[in-house]
Chain A
Protein backbone atom coordinates (compact mmCIF):
# COMPACT_ATOMS: atom_id res chain seq x y z
CA UNK A 1 0.00 0.00 0.00
CA UNK A 2 2.78 2.39 1.02
CA UNK A 3 4.80 1.41 -2.01
CA UNK A 4 1.80 2.05 -4.24
CA UNK A 5 1.32 5.51 -2.72
CA UNK A 6 5.01 6.28 -3.02
CA UNK A 7 4.91 5.20 -6.64
CA UNK A 8 2.14 7.72 -7.22
CA UNK A 9 4.42 10.43 -5.85
CA UNK A 10 3.57 10.61 -2.15
CA UNK A 11 6.72 11.72 -0.36
CA UNK A 12 5.09 11.01 3.02
CA UNK A 13 4.56 7.38 2.04
CA UNK A 14 8.12 7.20 0.78
CA UNK A 15 9.32 8.62 4.10
CA UNK A 16 7.54 5.78 5.87
CA UNK A 17 9.28 3.30 3.58
CA UNK A 18 12.64 4.88 4.40
CA UNK A 19 11.85 4.54 8.10
CA UNK A 20 10.85 0.90 7.67
CA UNK A 21 13.62 -0.35 5.40
CA UNK A 22 16.69 1.83 5.85
CA UNK A 23 18.22 -0.39 8.55
CA UNK A 24 17.95 -3.52 6.42
CA UNK A 25 19.31 -1.80 3.33
CA UNK A 26 22.15 -0.43 5.43
CA UNK A 27 22.90 -3.91 6.85
CA UNK A 28 23.02 -5.40 3.35
CA UNK A 29 25.32 -2.64 2.12
CA UNK A 30 27.52 -3.16 5.15
CA UNK A 31 27.79 -6.83 4.20
CA UNK A 32 28.69 -5.79 0.67
CA UNK A 33 31.15 -2.99 1.40
CA UNK A 34 32.37 -3.92 4.91
CA UNK A 35 32.78 -0.17 5.55
CA UNK A 36 30.32 1.54 7.84
CA UNK A 37 30.66 5.03 6.37
CA UNK A 38 30.42 3.78 2.80
CA UNK A 39 27.36 1.73 3.70
CA UNK A 40 25.62 4.77 5.18
CA UNK A 41 26.40 6.97 2.18
CA UNK A 42 25.24 4.25 -0.18
CA UNK A 43 22.03 3.75 1.82
CA UNK A 44 21.24 7.41 1.29
CA UNK A 45 22.04 7.20 -2.42
CA UNK A 46 19.97 4.05 -2.76
CA UNK A 47 16.85 5.67 -1.33
CA UNK A 48 17.31 8.81 -3.43
CA UNK A 49 17.69 6.61 -6.48
CA UNK A 50 14.62 4.63 -5.46
CA UNK A 51 12.62 7.87 -5.25
CA UNK A 52 13.76 8.92 -8.72
CA UNK A 53 13.07 5.52 -10.27
CA UNK A 54 9.97 4.50 -8.33
CA UNK A 55 7.89 4.53 -11.52
CA UNK A 56 9.91 1.49 -12.64
CA UNK A 57 9.04 -0.51 -9.55
CA UNK A 58 6.42 -3.22 -10.04
CA UNK A 59 4.03 -3.05 -7.04
CA UNK A 60 3.18 -6.73 -7.54
CA UNK A 61 6.72 -7.63 -6.44
CA UNK A 62 8.08 -7.30 -2.90
CA UNK A 63 9.84 -3.98 -2.33
CA UNK A 64 12.87 -5.10 -0.32
CA UNK A 65 14.56 -7.20 -3.06
CA UNK A 66 14.10 -4.27 -5.44
CA UNK A 67 15.79 -1.98 -2.92
CA UNK A 68 18.59 -4.53 -2.47
CA UNK A 69 19.09 -4.64 -6.25
CA UNK A 70 19.33 -0.84 -6.39
CA UNK A 71 21.70 -0.89 -3.42
CA UNK A 72 23.99 -3.37 -5.11
CA UNK A 73 24.07 -1.29 -8.30
CA UNK A 74 24.85 1.81 -6.28
CA UNK A 75 27.73 0.00 -4.57
CA UNK A 76 29.14 -1.09 -7.95
CA UNK A 77 28.92 2.50 -9.22
CA UNK A 78 30.63 3.68 -6.04
CA UNK A 79 33.39 1.10 -6.47
CA UNK A 80 34.08 2.49 -9.95
CA UNK A 81 34.69 5.97 -8.59
CA UNK A 82 36.43 4.66 -5.50
CA UNK A 83 38.89 6.89 -3.75
CA UNK A 84 41.08 5.08 -1.24
CA UNK A 85 40.23 5.89 2.34
CA UNK A 86 42.90 7.53 4.46
CA UNK A 87 44.76 4.78 6.28
CA UNK A 88 44.45 6.29 9.74
CA UNK A 89 40.69 6.33 10.06
CA UNK A 90 39.71 6.00 13.70
CA UNK A 91 38.10 2.60 14.15
CA UNK A 92 35.39 1.93 16.65
CA UNK A 93 36.28 -0.93 18.91
CA UNK A 94 33.36 -3.33 18.92
CA UNK A 95 32.60 -5.82 21.62
CA UNK A 96 33.57 -9.36 20.71
CA UNK A 97 30.45 -11.46 20.04
CA UNK A 98 29.73 -14.00 22.74
CA UNK A 99 27.15 -16.20 21.06
CA UNK A 100 28.62 -18.96 18.84
CA UNK A 101 26.37 -18.00 15.93
CA UNK A 102 27.42 -14.37 16.15
CA UNK A 103 31.06 -15.44 16.27
CA UNK A 104 30.46 -17.52 13.17
CA UNK A 105 28.89 -14.54 11.40
CA UNK A 106 31.87 -12.43 12.39
CA UNK A 107 34.22 -15.13 11.11
CA UNK A 108 32.30 -15.18 7.82
CA UNK A 109 32.55 -11.40 7.55
CA UNK A 110 36.30 -11.48 8.00
CA UNK A 111 37.08 -14.61 5.98
CA UNK A 112 34.71 -14.53 3.02
CA UNK A 113 34.79 -12.30 -0.02
CA UNK A 114 32.31 -9.43 0.08
CA UNK A 115 30.06 -10.92 -2.59
CA UNK A 116 29.97 -14.34 -0.92
CA UNK A 117 29.26 -12.78 2.44
CA UNK A 118 26.45 -10.70 0.99
CA UNK A 119 24.93 -13.84 -0.58
CA UNK A 120 25.18 -15.52 2.82
CA UNK A 121 23.55 -12.46 4.37
CA UNK A 122 20.66 -12.36 1.94
CA UNK A 123 19.95 -16.08 2.25
CA UNK A 124 20.45 -16.69 5.97
CA UNK A 125 19.84 -13.26 7.47
CA UNK A 126 17.16 -11.88 5.18
CA UNK A 127 15.86 -15.41 4.46
CA UNK A 128 15.40 -14.70 0.78
CA UNK A 129 15.08 -17.68 -1.57
CA UNK A 130 18.02 -18.52 -3.81
CA UNK A 131 16.20 -17.23 -6.86
CA UNK A 132 15.85 -13.75 -5.39
CA UNK A 133 19.39 -13.74 -4.06
CA UNK A 134 20.57 -14.58 -7.57
CA UNK A 135 18.45 -11.80 -9.07
CA UNK A 136 19.80 -9.24 -6.59
CA UNK A 137 23.43 -10.24 -7.13
CA UNK A 138 23.01 -10.49 -10.90
CA UNK A 139 24.00 -14.16 -11.00
CA UNK A 140 22.43 -17.46 -11.94
CA UNK A 141 20.73 -19.46 -9.23
CA UNK A 142 23.22 -22.31 -9.64
CA UNK A 143 26.15 -19.96 -9.18
CA UNK A 144 24.68 -18.64 -5.92
CA UNK A 145 24.10 -22.20 -4.72
CA UNK A 146 27.74 -23.06 -5.39
CA UNK A 147 28.86 -19.85 -3.71
CA UNK A 148 26.87 -20.64 -0.56
CA UNK A 149 28.08 -24.23 -0.53
CA UNK A 150 31.70 -23.09 -0.71
CA UNK A 151 31.08 -20.52 2.00
CA UNK A 152 29.62 -23.12 4.35
CA UNK A 153 32.47 -25.50 3.56
CA UNK A 154 35.08 -22.83 4.23
CA UNK A 155 33.44 -21.90 7.51
CA UNK A 156 33.11 -25.54 8.48
CA UNK A 157 36.79 -26.16 7.80
CA UNK A 158 37.71 -23.01 9.68
CA UNK A 159 35.78 -24.26 12.66
CA UNK A 160 37.54 -27.67 12.39
CA UNK A 161 34.53 -29.93 12.69
CA UNK A 162 31.10 -29.75 14.27
CA UNK A 163 32.46 -30.37 17.76
CA UNK A 164 33.97 -26.90 17.88
CA UNK A 165 30.89 -24.92 16.85
CA UNK A 166 30.11 -23.94 20.38
CA UNK A 167 33.54 -22.31 20.52
CA UNK A 168 34.78 -21.31 17.08
CA UNK A 169 38.48 -20.48 16.74
CA UNK A 170 39.67 -17.00 17.64
CA UNK A 171 38.76 -14.40 15.09
CA UNK A 172 41.37 -12.95 12.76
CA UNK A 173 42.32 -9.31 13.09
CA UNK A 174 39.35 -7.15 12.10
CA UNK A 175 39.78 -5.38 8.76
CA UNK A 176 37.04 -2.84 9.01
CA UNK A 177 34.18 -1.72 11.18
CA UNK A 178 32.30 -4.34 13.08
CA UNK A 179 28.58 -4.28 12.53
Chain B
Protein backbone atom coordinates (compact mmCIF):
# COMPACT_ATOMS: atom_id res chain seq x y z
CA UNK B 1 0.00 0.00 0.00
CA UNK B 2 1.31 3.43 -0.97
CA UNK B 3 2.25 5.49 2.10
CA UNK B 4 0.37 8.78 2.35
CA UNK B 5 2.43 11.91 1.63
CA UNK B 6 3.81 13.57 4.77
CA UNK B 7 3.21 10.29 6.51
CA UNK B 8 5.46 11.37 9.37
CA UNK B 9 2.87 14.05 10.26
CA UNK B 10 0.11 11.46 10.11
CA UNK B 11 2.12 9.09 12.27
CA UNK B 12 2.82 11.82 14.80
CA UNK B 13 -0.84 12.79 14.90
CA UNK B 14 -1.71 9.16 15.63
CA UNK B 15 0.82 8.68 18.44
CA UNK B 16 -1.04 10.78 20.95
CA UNK B 17 -4.27 12.69 20.64
CA UNK B 18 -5.75 15.50 22.70
CA UNK B 19 -8.61 14.56 24.97
CA UNK B 20 -10.79 17.63 25.52
CA UNK B 21 -13.15 17.31 28.47
CA UNK B 22 -16.45 19.15 28.61
CA UNK B 23 -17.70 20.82 31.77
CA UNK B 24 -18.67 18.24 34.40
CA UNK B 25 -22.31 19.31 34.33
CA UNK B 26 -22.85 18.91 30.59
CA UNK B 27 -24.22 15.39 30.72
CA UNK B 28 -26.64 16.27 33.54
CA UNK B 29 -27.66 19.39 31.64
CA UNK B 30 -28.53 17.37 28.54
CA UNK B 31 -30.51 14.79 30.52
CA UNK B 32 -32.35 17.49 32.45
CA UNK B 33 -33.32 19.28 29.24
CA UNK B 34 -34.47 15.98 27.80
CA UNK B 35 -36.70 15.33 30.83
CA UNK B 36 -38.09 18.83 30.64
CA UNK B 37 -38.92 18.37 26.98
CA UNK B 38 -40.66 15.08 27.63
CA UNK B 39 -42.77 16.59 30.40
CA UNK B 40 -43.72 19.49 28.20
CA UNK B 41 -45.21 17.29 25.46
CA UNK B 42 -48.40 16.09 27.24
CA UNK B 43 -49.00 19.63 28.50
CA UNK B 44 -49.47 20.70 24.91
CA UNK B 45 -52.23 18.17 24.31
CA UNK B 46 -54.71 19.04 27.06
CA UNK B 47 -55.66 22.51 25.78
CA UNK B 48 -56.78 20.90 22.53
CA UNK B 49 -58.99 18.53 24.48
CA UNK B 50 -60.45 21.16 26.82
CA UNK B 51 -60.78 24.40 24.89
CA UNK B 52 -62.89 23.38 21.84
CA UNK B 53 -65.73 21.79 23.91
CA UNK B 54 -65.62 24.72 26.33
CA UNK B 55 -65.92 27.19 23.47
CA UNK B 56 -68.79 25.23 21.94
CA UNK B 57 -70.61 25.16 25.30
CA UNK B 58 -70.12 28.92 25.69
CA UNK B 59 -71.59 29.60 22.25
CA UNK B 60 -74.55 27.34 23.05
CA UNK B 61 -75.25 29.13 26.34
CA UNK B 62 -75.01 32.55 24.75
CA UNK B 63 -77.38 31.68 21.93
CA UNK B 64 -79.94 30.30 24.38
CA UNK B 65 -79.82 33.40 26.56
CA UNK B 66 -80.45 35.82 23.71
CA UNK B 67 -84.08 37.15 23.74
CA UNK B 68 -86.30 35.99 20.91
CA UNK B 69 -86.97 38.61 18.31
CA UNK B 70 -90.54 39.22 17.39
CA UNK B 71 -91.39 38.64 13.81
CA UNK B 72 -92.34 42.22 13.20
CA UNK B 73 -89.60 43.70 15.29
CA UNK B 74 -86.97 44.48 12.73
CA UNK B 75 -87.31 42.95 9.41
CA UNK B 76 -90.92 43.50 8.55
CA UNK B 77 -91.31 47.04 9.69
CA UNK B 78 -92.07 49.24 6.77
CA UNK B 79 -89.20 51.46 6.00
CA UNK B 80 -90.21 55.04 6.35
CA UNK B 81 -89.27 57.05 3.44
CA UNK B 82 -89.09 60.64 4.25
CA UNK B 83 -91.08 62.78 2.03
CA UNK B 84 -88.97 65.05 0.06
CA UNK B 85 -89.90 68.61 -0.01
CA UNK B 86 -91.76 69.25 -3.17
CA UNK B 87 -89.71 71.42 -5.32
CA UNK B 88 -90.68 72.84 -8.51
CA UNK B 89 -87.73 71.71 -10.54
CA UNK B 90 -89.30 72.73 -13.79
CA UNK B 91 -88.98 76.36 -12.99
CA UNK B 92 -85.54 75.99 -11.53
CA UNK B 93 -83.05 78.26 -13.22
CA UNK B 94 -79.97 76.19 -12.55
CA UNK B 95 -79.96 73.07 -14.81
CA UNK B 96 -77.43 71.31 -12.54
CA UNK B 97 -79.96 71.46 -9.71
CA UNK B 98 -82.14 68.80 -11.37
CA UNK B 99 -79.14 66.59 -11.87
CA UNK B 100 -78.05 66.89 -8.24
CA UNK B 101 -81.53 66.06 -6.94
CA UNK B 102 -81.74 63.01 -9.20
CA UNK B 103 -78.28 61.79 -8.15
CA UNK B 104 -79.18 62.29 -4.47
CA UNK B 105 -82.28 60.11 -4.88
CA UNK B 106 -80.31 57.40 -6.65
CA UNK B 107 -77.74 57.37 -3.88
CA UNK B 108 -80.40 57.06 -1.17
CA UNK B 109 -82.09 54.21 -2.99
CA UNK B 110 -78.81 52.38 -3.51
CA UNK B 111 -77.87 52.85 0.15
CA UNK B 112 -81.24 51.52 1.32
CA UNK B 113 -80.92 48.55 -1.01
CA UNK B 114 -77.44 47.69 0.36
CA UNK B 115 -78.66 47.99 3.96
CA UNK B 116 -81.56 45.66 3.14
CA UNK B 117 -79.09 43.18 1.71
CA UNK B 118 -77.10 42.96 4.95
CA UNK B 119 -77.81 39.77 6.90
CA UNK B 120 -79.03 40.31 10.44
CA UNK B 121 -78.21 38.22 13.51
CA UNK B 122 -81.45 36.27 13.75
CA UNK B 123 -81.72 35.49 10.05
CA UNK B 124 -80.34 31.97 10.38
CA UNK B 125 -82.80 30.96 13.10
CA UNK B 126 -85.73 32.01 11.02
Chain A interface residues toward B at CB < 8 A: 11, 14-15, 18-19, 22-23, 26-27, 30, 39-40, 43-44, 47-48, 51, 97, 99-102, 104-106, 108, 120, 124-125, 149, 152-153, 155-156, 159, 162, 165, 179
Binary A-proximity of B4-26 (CB < 8 A = 1, otherwise 0): 11101110111111111111001
Residue contact A102 to B6, C-beta cutoff 8 Å: no
Question: Can you list 19 residue pairs at the A/B interface with Cβ under 8 Å?
Answer: A11-B34, A14-B34, A18-B27, A18-B31, A22-B30, A27-B19, A43-B30, A48-B33, A48-B34, A99-B16, A101-B16, A102-B16, A104-B12, A125-B18, A152-B5, A152-B9, A156-B9, A179-B19, A179-B20
- Provide the residues of chain A in CB contact with B37, threshold 8 Å: 48, 51
Once bound together, how far apart are the Cα atoms of A79 and B10, in whole Å?
30
Report the Cα distance A40→B13, complex, angstroms: 25
Q: Is B80 an interface residue (CB 8 A)?
A: no
B72 at the interface (CB under 8 A from A): no
Residues from chain A with Cβ under 8 Å of B4 in the complex: 149, 152
| B29 contacts the other chain (CB 8 A) | yes
Is the beta-carbon distance between A101 and B15 smaller than 8 angstroms? Answer: yes
On chain A, the residues within 8 Å of B34 by CB distance are 11, 14-15, 18, 47-48, 51
* Beta-carbon contact of A104 and B23 below 8 Å: no
B88 at the interface (CB under 8 A from A): no
- Other-chain residue from B6, B20, B29, B30 in contact with A149 (beta carbon distance below 8 A): B6
The CA-CA distance from A149 to B2 in the complex, in Å, is: 14
Instruction: Given the known inter-chain contacts A15-B34, A101-B15, please indicate yes or no for A152 contacting B10, CB distance below 8 A.
Output: yes
Q: Which residues of B contact A26 (CB under 8 A)?
A: 20, 22, 26
Q: A47-B30, A156-B6 are in contact. Are A22 and B16 (CB under 8 A)?
A: no
Q: A14-B34, A44-B30, A156-B6 are in contact. Are A179 and B12 (CB under 8 A)?
A: no
Would you call B100 an interface residue if the criterion is a C-beta within 8 Å of the partner chain's C-beta atoms? no
- Docked CA distance A170–B19 (Å): 21
Instruction: Contact check, B30 vs A155: say whether CB atoms are below 8 A apart.
Output: no
CA distance A19 to B30 in the complex (A): 10
Residue of B17, B20, B27 with most partner-chain A CB within 10 A: B20
